[in-house]
Amino acid sequence: MGANLFRNLSFFSATLSFFLLVGIFAVLFTYAQQSMQEFGFDFLLTEEWEADEDDEGGIFGGYIPIIGTLLSTLIAMTIATPLAMGIAIFLTEIAHDKIVKPFSIAIELLAAIPSIIYGMWGLFYFAPIVQLTIGGNGVGLLTAGIVLAIMVIPYMAAITRDSMNTTPDVLKESAYAMGATKFEVIKDVVMPYSKGGIIGSIILSLGRALGETMAVAFLIGSIMSIPKSITDPTTSIPVLLANNFAEAQDLEISSMYYLALILFVVSFAIISVAKFYFLGRNK
């Protein structure tokens, strides 16, 4: 193999991720056309999702899955953020060196468990607890949100820990020397120093939570209705796609491509902001 061929092959491979991204956007956009022309931007605010009797048309609106996605993610982030911060603080500032390693490995293993396992465990072991203590019939927004939180915590904690670890010891030692307590050092030295990384890790986890499918599919209830209370079942974009995409046709499947496009564009935007604005990967 000639040197030029090798170089060209590696160049071709490198451009592939660019073409993949453009390709995904183009394919989703093309297949969503039918629905986009029929419903336009009203799609975002339409609650109905009904096929006509003859299966040829109908009214399809994305409001319910969009709201379900946003609410379950919001619940997850509300729970995950303080816990992940706590874990990161524990790992960087509190725990003894000997404990840090096994704890870090355990947290990272938690991140490696496939999402379908979270969903299944959540359905059989966690949903009944939510039903007993808070109410509802077990599956619903709250259960999905909590299990989603458990899923993103290790991810968020790991990135936050890494950025907290970049705080120079000299800065912390100076604050301690002035008589600051550990909490004051964390609040006034570590947090401000690693602010970008912490915000980035939260936004990145948000982007991941939006697109999470399997854990939520078991737990959100998969019903096309607007939740009236936090324990009510509803659906989300990934869950609707997971359960109904393969059987849909014509305008309905086009509407699902529309939803997939919305999810793709929104998570792309969120993840980009997190990575390049806050996490400073733009070397």
Partner 1 sequence: MNRLVLNKVVLVLSTLSAFIGIGFLFWILITLAYKGMAGLSFSLFTKDLVEGGIRNLLVGQFTMALMATAIAVPLGVMAGIYLREYGEESKMTSVIRNLSDVMTSAPSIVIGVFVFALLVEPFGTFNGWAGVVALAIMMVPIIIGTTDNMLALVPKELREAGIALGGSKKQVILQIVLKAAKVGVTTGILLSFARIIGETAPLLFTSANNQFFSMDLTDQFPSLTVSIYNLATYPDEASRQLAWSAAFVLTAIVLFINLVGRYVTRHKQ
Shortest Å, Cβ 273 to partner 1: 10
Shortest Å, Cβ 66 to partner 1: 14
The residues, ordered by sequence, that sit 6+ positions from 189 with a Cβ below 8 Å of its Cβ are 167, 171, 172, 175, 180
Q: Which stretch binds partner 1 (CB under 8 A): 8-16, 41-49, 51-59, 133-141?
A: 8-16
| CB-CB contact of 220 with 72 (8 Å) | yes
Residue closer to partner 1 by CB (options 53, 247) is 247
Binding status of residue 78 toward partner 1 by CB under 8 A: no
Report how many residues bind partner 1 under the rule CB under 8 A: 91
Shortest Å, Cβ 168 to partner 1: 21
> Binding string, 17-36, against partner 1, x = CB under 8 A?
xx-xx-xx--xx--x-----
Let me know if 165 is exposed, middle or buried by CB neighbors in 10 A (0-12, 13-18, 19+). middle
According to CB under 8 A, which residues from 52 to 71 bind partner 1? none
Shortest Å, Cβ 247 to partner 1: 9
According to CB under 8 A, which residues from 214 to 233 bind partner 1? 214, 217-218
**φ, ψ of residue 143 in degrees (nearest 5):** -60, -45
Residue closer to partner 1 by CB (options 46, 275) is 275
d(CA 69, CA 170): 44
Q: Which stretch binds partner 1 (CB under 8 A): 13-21, 37-45, 49-57, 130-138?
A: 13-21
Task: Choose, by CB under 8 A, the member of 76, 91, 139, 189 that binds partner 1.
Answer: 91
Binding status of residue 145 toward partner 1 by CB under 8 A: no
Please report how the helices 97-112 and 141-164 are oriented relative to each other, as an axis angle in degrees rounded to 10.
140
d(CA 172, CA 92): 12
Question: DSSP character for 51?
Answer: E
| CB-CB contact of 92 with 244 (8 Å) | no
Q: How far is CA 206 from the centre of its chain?
A: 4
Q: Which stretch binds partner 1 (CB under 8 A): 46-54, 133-141, 149-157, 193-201?
A: 149-157
According to CB under 8 A, which residues from 152 to 211 bind partner 1? 153-154, 157, 181-184, 186, 204, 207-208, 210-211
Let me know if 55 is exposed, middle or buried by CB neighbors in 10 A (0-12, 13-18, 19+). exposed
Binding status of residue 112 toward partner 1 by CB under 8 A: yes
| CB-CB contact of 92 with 190 (8 Å) | yes
Integer-rounded Cα Rg, in Å, for the chain is 22
Binding status of residue 118 toward partner 1 by CB under 8 A: yes
Tokens in use for 16? 């592939």
Binding status of residue 96 toward partner 1 by CB under 8 A: no
Torsion angle defined by CA atoms of residues 172, 178, 182 and 183, in that order, rounded to the nearest 10 degrees? -100
Residue closer to partner 1 by CB (options 209, 224) is 209
Task: Choose, by CB under 8 A, the member of 176, 193, 245, 277 that binds partner 1.
Answer: 245
According to CB under 8 A, which residues from 255 to 274 bind partner 1? 256-257, 260, 263-264, 267-268, 271-272
